[in-house]
Each structure stands twice: as structure tokens, then as C-alpha cells.
Chain A
Amino acid sequence: MRETFIATTTALLDEDPRTALVLADISADRFAEVQRRHPDRVLNVGIREQLMAGVGGGLALTGMRPYLHSYAPFLIDRAYEQIKLDFAHQDVGAVLVSIGASYDAAAEGYTHQSPGDVALLDTLDGWTVHVPGHRDEVAEALRAAARHDDRVYVRLSTQENSHPHLGGGLRVLREGGPLVVAVGPMLDPVLEATLGLDVTVAYTNTPRPLDTAALRSAMRGDEIVVVEPYAKGTSAHLVGEALSGLPHRSLHLGVGRAEVRRYGSRHDHARAHGLDPAGLRRSIEAFLG
């Protein structure tokens, strides 16, 4: 996904003079060539994430379309107040593109992990959130964001599904009984976990705004399971609103709050949070009974 981000953003810089890219050292070497072609629009501020957000806001104030990029914990967690005040409060937008996700950087430890990024943006107004499940879904999100001035977050991960599902919104991929919603790269683990179970599986790579109309119409009965690759329960309030007035039971699976003080790989961390296929199956079977 990172490669697709680099290729697509490079193409956007070549095609659209409104596009600007602001970096804080991360991935800067991969943009060195396009920086030579567009030195005024490819800006590496150094290891200064607060400034990266401020520069993004300032660029947007003059009519540019800034893309900002770093590891999720530095791009979102660290610069939260800049994101709050330097974009929406100024009535401007930007495209924030992160890597690292919840635990891609497993061996690097908790400092390089951001399970709370989407929940943080949920405290703010007007952010569209894309969580691509496949590298081919990345370009679509980045190109769509170039055509307007709204606030967009694109959360990239090394975890991806075997097949892309292009187009936004929430769609049903497997028909059956109770609804299981998989967000982004959780689709393949969900499909494997629910093999042989009588469930409906729906997919979205755009959890914000949540496609509540499609969610309601995908309900097959009164039970729903939501599987997200970031903090457990991040979408619970929106699912609750979408289904308000409908009797329902819900289970929200995702990354737990407790810090896992172990290294290893992202597969180890998925297992620790019960987000591997076996863990998901246990939780879903226990819930559906």
C-alpha cells in the first residue's frame, strides 16, 4: 500500500499543480525524485509533526491541496491539536496519509503504533476515513481526495486482503444470517473465521462517514458483529445510532486498549488481540451462540 501511495501521490504532483506533499522525514527518500521536479510543492519539514500539520493548514489557506504523511502515531496522535485547529477550525482541509496502523510496527513497540487514530478523528467534525483493504483501493481514495478540499484520512497498513473491492460504501459480499461487518484489512480474517457459519459478511473500506443506510439494509435479523483493525468499539456509537429504533445485539471487535508489551510480528499482535481468524471465530461463535 505504501508503494501505491508513493506512485499515486507522485502522479498527482505531476498532474495537478494544486497538489502539495508535506513530509516529516518518513518516506522522504522515496519522494526525492519528484521533489527535484516540484521543489516548491514537495516539502520535507524534518522530524516536526506539529509543523507538518501547520504547514498543511497554511498551504490549504492559499488554495493548495496538501497531502501529509507519516507514521500514524506521529501524524495523528502527536499532532492532534494541530489537526483540530489548523484544519477544521480554519475551515480548510487536507489529506492525511498514515502508515503503521495499529501494530504493523510490532517489533518497534507501542511508540510506533496507533490503534486510536480513527477514534481521535471521531472527536472532530467532517473527516472522511479510508481504511483500504488492498493496495488497489489506495489509489482510488487518494485520487478522489484530490478533487475537493475536504478533510480526508487514509490509513495504510501492511496487512491486506487477497482481492480488492473498489468503490466506497458498505456492501454485502456473502449472504447468510446475522451480519458481520469487516473494515478494510479485516475482511480476509473475517471471511476465514466465518467459513461454514451462517452469517452475512459485509465490507467497507470507508468507515467515515459510515454508510448507515447500507448497514441497516444489510441486517438479517437482530444481531451484528463489527470487526475493525483499530481500537475496539470505535464505530459502536455510529452503529448504535444507525440501528436506533431497531432491537439489536451488537459485538464490537478490534484492538484492545491494554498495551501489549511484546514485540514479534503483526500476526502475533493480531493473535494477542483476538483478531486472527481463530480468535475472531471464537468471539463470533460465542456471541451468536
Chain B
Amino acid sequence: MKLLSRVTADVKHSPSAHSTLDVLWVLYDRVLRITPETVDDPGRDRFFLSKGHGPAAYYAVLAAKGFIPEEWLDDMGGWDSPLGHHPDRVLIPGVEIGTGSLGHGLGLTVGAALGLRAQGYLDTRTFVLLGDAELDEGSNHEAIAYAAAIRLPITAIVVDNRSSTHGWPGGWSGAPTWLDEDGEVSAMSDRTRAGLSVGIPARFPNWGVSVVDGRDRDGIEQALRVVEDRPRLVVAAL
């Protein structure tokens, strides 16, 4: 994407910047009900970028969709720039939370989803994007367990580019669900399970789960469109 290369200063987290591009584009282009005109609409869909590292792709998508001027992309991290190496919601239209310290977005997402429900915004969807290394932070696991316990219908996307130092080994027990070839939620078959890294879903017990190719935009969209009466995990594997 041309706009992404325009974000010049993001050398620090370059791999993490590009890992999120396809997911972010699908969210803003196909899924989220939000426009530059509705950034303050109380019923708008919410997208929280928890993994604030490497926001170049996020900024590029916000610019492409008209939330911020493209000129802002040229001076990321500059003294006069609203765009930092981690995003600040106070400075950037359309950015819902300020992040950078890992492990804050999922808890904020749970709170926002509860606040929306309490105010009757039952059709509003709430998404959060994390990295697989970010899952190392214990605060995530407080939110993962609670969201499952109260069957809160949020959608957490974990971009898995194998960046967690100790990884997420292990299998997957219980009764997970899966997207079958028709996009329907069904029990995961042994055939589907075979050959896939299931260590991350194993840390999300009682969540609905999809594992998709993080570069397959149609697959990402299909997974993000699923709504259940419980939280959903979409692992975008790279």
C-alpha cells in the first residue's frame, strides 16, 4: 500500500506494522460501521488497537479512509505530529484508545462492550486487535477468562506472527468451534485441527474461534462477520 510506505519514521516496529495491514484494511473497508462523520456517534462500532506497537498500517488505513489527512503520515513521531510511534486517542480522530504499553486493550474492550450493552447499544460490535507476543502480559488473561464467563460478545483478533519469545505451545481440549467451508460455526473436526497451531486458541477457553490466513482478506472478513452470544477469537496467522 502506497500510504504505508509514506509512513517513514516507523523503523522501530517494522514487522509488527506490516503484520496488521490486511486485518486493519478488512475491518475498516468491509466490517466496521464507522466513518469520519460518525467518530463521535455513541452507537458506532468500536475498534481498539491494543497492540499499539507499529501503528504505521493503522495510520495508513485511517488516512485512506479519510479519518486523518494523508499529509500527517509524513512526519510520524515528529514534535508537531499528532501521530506517535504509539497512537494517542486524544490526538487522532477515529482512534478509540491510546496504547503502547501492552496488555491494556482487552480490558478496555470488555469495559466498553459492557458500557454499550448497559446503554442499549445491542447492535454495536466491539473489536480489539492484539499481537501474539502481547498475550504474554497477564492482564490479557484476566480479561479472557471474564469475557468467557459472562459470554460477552466481543471479537478479539490476535495477529500471530510467531513473535512471542516463548511461544504458545500446547494443544486444544474442550469443545472448540470452527468455521467450516461454508462459513458456518461448527464443532472443529480432527481434520481441520490437524496441522494448525492451536496454542493460542487453547488460552481462550469457551470462546468461539476462527484461525485464518492473516493475508487472506476474504477469509478474515468471513471470520470477523460471525456473531455469537459469547466472545470470539480470530487468530490471523502469518
Q: Which residues of A contact B (CB under 8 A)?
A: 17, 20, 22, 40-41, 43, 45-46, 48, 50-51, 53-64, 66, 81-82, 85-86, 89-91
Q: List 17 A-B contacts (CB under 8 A).
A: A45-B142, A48-B142, A48-B145, A54-B104, A55-B107, A55-B108, A55-B110, A55-B111, A55-B114, A56-B111, A58-B110, A58-B113, A63-B115, A64-B119, A85-B101, A86-B104, A86-B107
Taking a contact as CB atoms closer than 8 A, the residue among A40, A57, A81, A86 that contacts B118 in the complex is A40
Contacting pair B89 A58 (CB below 8 A): no
Contacting pair A61 B146 (CB below 8 A): no
Taking a contact as CB atoms closer than 8 A, the residue among B107, B115, B142, B149 that contacts A64 in the complex is B115
Determine the residue in chain A with the shortest Cβ distance to B126. Answer: A58
The 3 A-B residue pairs whose C-beta atoms are closest, nearest first, are A58-B111, A54-B107, A62-B115
Residues of B within 8 A of A57 (CB): 107-108, 111
Residues of A within 8 A of B101 (CB): 81, 85
Taking a contact as CB atoms closer than 8 A, the residue among B116, B118, B119, B139 that contacts A82 in the complex is B139
Contacting pair B111 A59 (CB below 8 A): yes
Distance (whole angstroms) from the CB of A53 to the closest CB of chain B: 7
Contacting pair B117 A91 (CB below 8 A): no
Q: Which residues of B contact A (CB under 8 A)?
A: 42, 88-90, 96-98, 101, 103-104, 106-119, 138-139, 142-143, 145-146, 149
Determine the residue in chain A with the shortest Cβ distance to B138. Answer: A50
Contacting pair A58 B139 (CB below 8 A): no
Contacting pair A63 B98 (CB below 8 A): no
Residues of A within 8 A of B108 (CB): 54-55, 57-58, 61, 86, 90
CA distance A81 to B99 in the complex (A): 12
Contacting pair A51 B116 (CB below 8 A): no
Instruction: Answer whether A58 and B90 are a contact pair too, CB < 8 Å, given A50-B139, A90-B98.
Output: no
Distance (whole angstroms) from the CB of B171 to the closest CB of chain A: 26
CA distance A91 to B113 in the complex (A): 18
Contacting pair A62 B119 (CB below 8 A): yes
Residues of B within 8 A of A41 (CB): 118
Residues of A within 8 A of B117 (CB): 40
Taking a contact as CB atoms closer than 8 A, the residue among A40, A58, A89 that contacts B109 in the complex is A58
Distance (whole angstroms) from the CB of A282 to the closest CB of chain B: 46
Instruction: Answer whether A85 and B104 are a contact pair too, CB < 8 Å, given A90-B89, A90-B97, A90-B98.
Output: yes
Instruction: Answer whether A58 and B146 are a contact pair too, CB < 8 Å, given A82-B107, A86-B108.
Output: no
Residues of A within 8 A of B90 (CB): 91
Chain B contact residues, majority secondary structure: helix
Contacting pair B106 A54 (CB below 8 A): yes
Instruction: Answer whether A50 and B107 are a contact pair too, CB < 8 Å, given A20-B115, A64-B118.
Output: yes
Residues of A within 8 A of B139 (CB): 50-51, 54, 82
Distance (whole angstroms) from the CB of A44 to the closest CB of chain B: 9
Q: A20-B114, A82-B107 known; 6 other A-B pairs, CB under 8 Å?
A: A50-B138, A51-B146, A54-B139, A58-B107, A85-B101, A89-B98
Contacting pair B89 A51 (CB below 8 A): no
Contacting pair B107 A61 (CB below 8 A): no
Residues of B within 8 A of A91 (CB): 89-90
Most B Cβ at <10 Å: residue of A17, A51, A85: A51
Distance (whole angstroms) from the CB of B4 to the closest CB of chain A: 26
Determine the residue in chain B with the shortest Cβ distance to A84. Answer: B101
Distance (whole angstroms) from the CB of A64 to the closest CB of chain B: 5
Determine the residue in chain B with the shortest Cβ distance to A43. Answer: B114
Determine the residue in chain A with the shortest Cβ distance to B111. Answer: A58
Taking a contact as CB atoms closer than 8 A, the residue among B97, B98, B107 that contacts A51 in the complex is B107
Distance (whole angstroms) from the CB of A146 to the closest CB of chain B: 16
CA distance A56 to B112 in the complex (A): 9
Distance (whole angstroms) from the CB of B98 to the closest CB of chain A: 5
CA distance A51 to B113 in the complex (A): 13
Residues of A within 8 A of B109 (CB): 58
Taking a contact as CB atoms closer than 8 A, the residue among B114, B138, B142 that contacts A59 in the complex is B114
Most B Cβ at <10 Å: residue of A43, A59, A66: A59
Contacting pair B118 A54 (CB below 8 A): no
Contacting pair B104 A58 (CB below 8 A): no
Distance (whole angstroms) from the CB of B37 to the closest CB of chain A: 19
Distance (whole angstroms) from the CB of B117 to the closest CB of chain A: 6
Residues of A within 8 A of B98 (CB): 85, 89-90
CA distance A86 to B108 in the complex (A): 7
Most A Cβ at <10 Å: residue of B101, B109, B142: B142
Residues of B within 8 A of A46 (CB): 145-146, 149
Instruction: Answer whether A61 and B96 are a contact pair too, CB < 8 Å, given A20-B115, A48-B146, A51-B143.
Output: yes
Distance (whole angstroms) from the CB of B99 to the closest CB of chain A: 8
Contacting pair B42 A54 (CB below 8 A): no
CA distance A53 to B146 in the complex (A): 13
Contacting pair A59 B89 (CB below 8 A): no
